[in-house]
Amino acid sequence: MLSKDSLQFLDDLKANNNRDWFLDNKKRYEVFKKDYHQLVGAFLDVMKPLDPSLEMLEVKNCTFRINRDIRFSKDKSPYKDHLGVWLSSGSKGNNRAGYYVHIARSGSFIAGGFYCPEAEDLKKVRKEIAYFYEDLEEILREKTFKKEFTDFDRNETNVLKNPPRGYEKDHPAIEFLKLKSFETSQKFDIEEVTRADFVAKMSQKLISLKPLNAFINRALTSEE
C-alpha cells in the first residue's frame, strides 16, 4: 500500500510541476520515494514465489526515475506525477514481457504482456503466434484470465489495418498477427492503493498473466 501522504505529494507535484517547488519539497519527496520503494518491495515479496522468473529482481530493477525525459516532448514539465512498478525477467538490452502497475490520478491500472516491441522482437512474437496460435488461444480462454482481462488491448494505434508482410489475410490467427503491441490491462481506483490488501489483491490479478508472459518470452528467447 501507499500512504495518503504519498498520493497527496503526487497531487501537489502535478499542480506545481517545476524545479523550484520540487527543491522546496525535497524532504517530502524523500519520504514519498521511500514509500514507493516499500510498495515495490511488497510486490516483489508476493510475486516472486508465484513467478520464479522474477527471483533475481531487486527494488532498483522495478522502479522509474521521477524526472521526465523532455528532450523530444512538447510538454516540458520536469517531473512525473505518477509512479509505476515494472516486474520483468528482462535485463538491459533484453526486453521481455512482464507485469506493470500504474498509479496516477488521471488513471490507474495494472497490465501485462509486451508493450510496443522493436521490429525484430515483433517479428519473433508474430512467428510464435503464427505457428502456435492454439497455445495463445488456450491462454486467452483460461477462466481467470478471461475474468480479469478478457483479451489484448486493441485500439487504432496498435492494430494494423492489413495483414503484416508475410502473412495471408485468411491465417487463423490473423487478428493476433495484426497487433503491434501485446498488452492487456485493467483499471482500478487510485484510492485502492492506500488499502492494506492492495498488493495482495493486485498480485492475484497480475499472476493470471503469467502464461501470456511465458508465451511471449518463449518467442523472444527461442533459437531460430
User: Percentage of the chain with pLDDT > 70?
Assistant: 98
Whole-number pLDDT of residue 107: 97
Cα–Cα–Cα angle for 199, 205, 209, rounded to 5 degrees? 125
Q: Tens digits of per-residue pLDDT, 23-45?
A: 999 999 999 999 999 999 999 99
- The pLDDT score that the predictor gives to residue 93 is 61
Q: Is the pLDDT of residue 157 over 70?
A: yes
- The per-residue pLDDT for range 164-222, each reduced to its tens digit, is 999 999 999 999 999 999 999 999 999 999 999 999 999 999 999 999 999 999 999 87
**Coil, helix or strand at residue 59:** helix
Mean pLDDT for 83-102 is: 89
Element (H, E) at 198: helix 198-206
Q: Which of 154, 205, 215 is nearest to 181 (CA)?
A: 154
Q: Is residue 223 pLDDT above 70, yes or no?
A: no
Q: Can you tell me the distance from the alpha carbon of 74 to that of 78, in angstroms, rounded to the nearest whole number?
A: 12
Dump the DSSP string for 108-124: EEEEEEE-S--HHHHHH
The yes-or-no verdict on residue 100 having pLDDT over 80 is yes
What are the extents of the domains in the chain? Answer: 4-221
Is the four-CA dihedral 176, 159, 153, 193 of positive or negative sign?
A: positive
pLDDT for position 94 = 75
Report the pLDDT value the prediction gives residue 71, as an integer from 0 to 100.
85
Q: Is the pLDDT of residue 91 over 90?
A: no
pLDDT (mean) for 140-149: 96
> 6 pLDDT exceeds 90?
yes
pLDDT at 179: 98
For 58, half-sphere exposure in the C-beta direction (CA atoms, 13 angstrom radius) is 1
CATH 1.10.3470 applies to domain 4-221: no
Q: Which residue type, as a one-letter code, is found at position 70? A: I
Residue 95 burial class via C-beta count within 10 angstroms: exposed 0-12, middle 13-18, buried 19 and up: middle
Please tell me the predicted confidence (pLDDT) of residue 73: 86
